[in-house]
């Protein structure tokens, strides 16, 4: 599909949306949705018109007409075995439809997030940056989602000597438990031009990753800044959030919220936008002296 060149950033939605409209129309009928449900939960692969009609308690001609509509959209396919015709869901078409829907969803949510940020910062423009370290890519995906949703600057911290899958779970875990600092790039992180720092790290052995420990010490111009910290982890962050908060506060940074994202949270395609919503909800620019909030993001 060629770019239409009508929009600043082309995602081909202008061509995808009309195609989706006919698919939504085909699915916008209770009986057809029930057929999709029956086919998707069938394990035998031998559902035909008569069996579907019996389960739905409607006539066979009615089922045939609904199947014809679903087949015309490519949502259902059939195969003949002797005198019988069996129907199944078309996996490839469903994957394509889901991809198109998620593209439309992401575009809609980007607009919603920008409006959310505009409303939250109506009184003053907020200059924010996301400082993060990511080993597996999970924290990076969340940070990029925040950037896409709110337009924050991104500063990725990288170790000068990358971890392998073996050293991450041996040397890296031991260093995180000790609160060690990894040699990182950039070696100096100037945040003097920002109002809000959003700092993210994966959780290693219930502690912040050594690279983000080093990033905290690499900050310059951070005194008096507001910050929100977040972690990505399988289940619980352990001591990672309070340890990171204390390290920042020792540098003169005011940590206004602590947010933990577990593996279910980070599977959300809009995890970054949801995190940004939680950050705004925490109101990091509230009157100093109010109690700090500790949040666990649930999607």
Domains and CATH numbers, the chain: 13-93 (1.10.10.10), 126-296 (3.40.50.360)
Residue 203 CB contacts under 8 Å (≥ 6 apart), including other chains: 209, 231, 232, 233, 234, 237, 238, 240
Q: What is residue 40's predicted lDDT score, i.e. its pLDDT? A: 93
**Average confidence (pLDDT) over 20-44:** 93
Residue keyed to tokens 């100093």: 288
Model-level pTM? 0.66
How does strand 207-208 pair with strand 293-296? Answer: unpaired
User: Phi and psi for 203 in degrees, rounded to 5?
Assistant: -95, 125
Residue with tokens 């959003």: 198
pLDDT at 298: 35
- Ordered DSSP codes for 127-177: -EEEEEE-SSSHHHHHHHHHHHHH--EEEEEEESSPPPHHHIIIIIHHHHH
- Cα distance between residue 184 and residue 296, in whole Å: 29
> Per-residue pLDDT for 265 more than 70?
yes
- Range scoring the smallest mean pLDDT among 71-85, 141-155, 233-247: 141-155
Which of 166-200 are b and which e, b meaning 16 or more Cβ less than 10 Å from the residue's Cβ?
A: eebeebbbebbeeeebbebeeeebebeebbbbbbb
CB atoms within 10 A of CB 254: 16
Q: What is the DSSP letter of 231?
A: E
Q: Residue 121 — pLDDT band, cuts 50, 70, 90?
A: low
Give percent above pLDDT 70 in the chain. Answer: 86
């Amino acid at each position: 599909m060629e770019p239409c060149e009508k929009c600043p950033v082309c995602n081909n939605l202008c061509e995808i949306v009309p195609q989706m409209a006919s698919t939504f129309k085909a699915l916008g009928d209770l009986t057809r949705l029930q057929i999709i449900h029956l086919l998707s939960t069938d394990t035998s692969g031998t559902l035909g018109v008569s069996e579907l009609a019996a389960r739905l308690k409607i006539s066979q001609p009615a089922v045939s007409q609904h199947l014809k509509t679903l087949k015309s959209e490519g949502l259902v396919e059939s195969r003949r075995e002797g005198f019988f015709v069996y129907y199944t869901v078309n996996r490839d078409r469903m994957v394509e439809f889901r991809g198109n829907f998620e593209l439309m969803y992401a575009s809609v949510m980007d607009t919603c997030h920008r409006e959310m940020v505009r409303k939250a910062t109506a009184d003053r423009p907020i200059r924010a940056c996301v400082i993060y370290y990511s080993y597996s890519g999970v924290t990076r995906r969340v940070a990029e989602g925040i950037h896409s949703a709110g337009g924050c600057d991104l500063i990725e911290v990288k170790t000068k000597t990358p971890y392998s899958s073996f050293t991450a779970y041996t040397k890296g875990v031991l260093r995180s438990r000790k609160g060690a600092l990894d040699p990182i790039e950039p070696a100096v992180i100037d945040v003097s031009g920002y109002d809000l720092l959003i700092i993210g790290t994966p959780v290693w052995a219930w502690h912040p990753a050594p690279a983000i420990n080093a990033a905290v010490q690499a900050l310059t111009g951070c005194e008096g800044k507001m910050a929100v910290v977040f972690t990505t982890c399988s289940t619980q962050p352990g001591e990672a959030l309070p340890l990171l908060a204390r390290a920042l506060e020792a540098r003169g940074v005011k940590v206004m919220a602590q947010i933990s994202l577990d593996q279910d949270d980070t599977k959300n395609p809009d995890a970054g936008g949801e995190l940004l919503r939680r950050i705004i909800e925490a109101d990091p620019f509230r009157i100093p002296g109010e109690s700090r909030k500790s949040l666990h993001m649930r999607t």
